[in-house]
Amino acid sequence: MSKILDTFLNENLQGLHEQGLYNEIDAVEGANGPTIKVNGKTLINLSSNNYLGLATNEELKQVAKEAIDQYGVGAGAVRTINGTLDLHVKLEEKLAEFKGTESAISYQSGFNCNMAAISAVMDKNDAILSDQLNHASIIDGCRLSKAKIIAYNHSDMEDLRQKAKDATESGLYNKIMVITDGVFSMDGDIAKLPEIVQIAKEFDLITYVDDAHGSGVTGKGKGTVKHFGLEKEIDFQIGTLSKAIGVVGGYVAGKKNLIDWLKVRSRPFLFSTAVTPGDVAAITRALQMIMDSTELHDQLWENGNYLKAGLKKLGFNIGASETPITPCIIGDEKLTQTFSKRLVEEGVYAKAIVFPTVAKGTGRVRNMPIATHTKAMLDDALAIYERVGKELGVI
């Protein structure tokens, strides 16, 4: 190894350990459900994005097996050569129906969606107004486009309006886009989409919503845009198929001409092999399940509200969450890491979230209750939170 590289890696890894910023990665032994097994120990799982419990759903597993038997384990090519199976076409038709748009396109991941869609439309002659707390994939997608990135204060509509006005009146940009998460994953708050749409109309901004944590969760399962009834007002609806949907991949939904453009100009679509047949079949069935019934959605929210009320009653700072995502904000990074480790030792798997995922001094343990948690599991988790919280002086 290069001596310069070796020195760089060792010094910086040591620094991360000393600051409490080094993330330990645990291997889960088996399925990722309401409980998981790590190092031989069964733990109540409060760190999964598997909101509706569909990642382990028996019906979806059977559908995936049947698709593998018929189509094989891989698509065999990129979408533009001969990797587009009829399964992919059916999925994209179902996604458009699910999101209430003219058309949709699927990708290999939600991260890929933001790499693909932003840079396919925006360039160095354009500007992007981006919420300060947008997901890393949005930030990277904006950088890839080479457009001017103008960050606005988190959910601050006055700041957004002023920056939209300044950017428009400058005459420097051909196109201006406003980008926001639908649900912000670290705090659980919801974007102010009606106000964003109003500002976008005033200044003719392109609207872009990444609803990774909203699809399947808000709007009776159909997402944050649906929650506000704005399906006809948002140009780009982005989402993941790996969280509430329970499988893998991502999508962009919008007008047909937008999707047609992405199919010929978005690089992850053009140069990555298509999502596997088993995954596509399972996703399509999962979407239909969500459209047919709100049972899992309703159970998720019941569990989320139950855990949130319990943690708040114990005295934890849970921020301003409006969704099942429930952070326990601790602050100090080392204390946050210690708190998470003690929870694991006592029987709850809830990961510490620290810089650079969140700002320094705002470390938190993020809780993600899912539809398949039982009340007994949540009660056990709350008892452990109380015990560890008092032990470490957090409450």
The active-site residue, picked from 88, 94, 99, 243, is 243
Q: Does residue 258 share a domain with residue 277? A: yes
- Let me know if 185 is a catalytic residue: yes
What span, in angstroms and rounded, lies between the C-alpha atoms of 214 and 99?
12
Of 213, 226, 297, 351, the catalytic one is 213
Give the rounded percent of residues in the chain with a pLDDT score beyond 70: 100
340 catalytic residue (yes or no): no
Q: What region does 181 belong to: left with phi over 0, alpha with psi -120 to 50, or beta?
A: beta
Kindly state whether residues 26 and 103 are assigned to the same domain. no
User: Is residue 10, in this structure, part of any structural domain at all?
Assistant: no
Question: Is 66 found in the same domain as 142?
Answer: yes
Q: Could you tell me if 383 and 284 lie in one domain?
A: no
Instruction: Please state, in angstroms and rounded to a whole number, the distance separating the CA atoms of residues 141 and 96.
Output: 23
Using the 8-state DSSP alphabet, how is residue 82 labeled? Answer: I
Tokens 């051909």 sit at which residue?
A: 174
Whether 204 and 177 map to the same domain: the answer is yes
304 and 192 together in one domain: no
Question: Per-residue pLDDT averaged across 370-386, rounded?
Answer: 98
Domain that holds residue 315: 18-47+294-391
Total domains, the chain: 2
Mean predicted confidence (pLDDT) in 306-322:
96
In a domain, 374, yes or no: yes
Q: Within a 10 A sphere around the Cβ of 378, how many other Cβ atoms?
A: 20
Tokens of 395: 């409450």
Cα angle 311, 221, 186 (rounded to 5 degrees) comes to 40
pLDDT band with cut points at 50, 70 and 90 for residue 20: confident
Catalytic-role residue among 48, 130, 145, 185? 185
CATH number for 332: 3.90.1150.10
User: Is residue 36 in a domain?
Assistant: yes
Q: Which of 255, 274, 292 is the last residue of a domain?
A: 292
Instruction: Tell me: do 250 and 314 sit in the same domain.
Output: no
pLDDT of 150 strictly over 80: yes
Q: Are residues 92 and 187 in the same domain?
A: yes
Domain check: are 138 and 235 in the same one? yes
Least confident of 20-29, 73-82, 197-206, 221-230: 20-29
Same domain as 268, residue 194:
yes
Which ranges in 40-180 belong to alpha helices (H)? 58-71, 86-99, 110-121, 136-145, 157-170
What CATH number is attached to the domain comprising 216? 3.40.640.10
pLDDT computed for residue 18 by the predictor: 87
One domain, residues 269 and 308: no
Question: Do 353 and 332 fall within a single domain?
Answer: yes
Report pTM.
0.93
DSSP for 167-185? HHHHT--S-EEEEEESB-T
pLDDT for 21 equals 79
Number of Cβ atoms within 10 Å of the Cβ of 141: 29
Whether the Cβ atoms of residue 250 and residue 241 lie closer than 8 Å to each other: yes
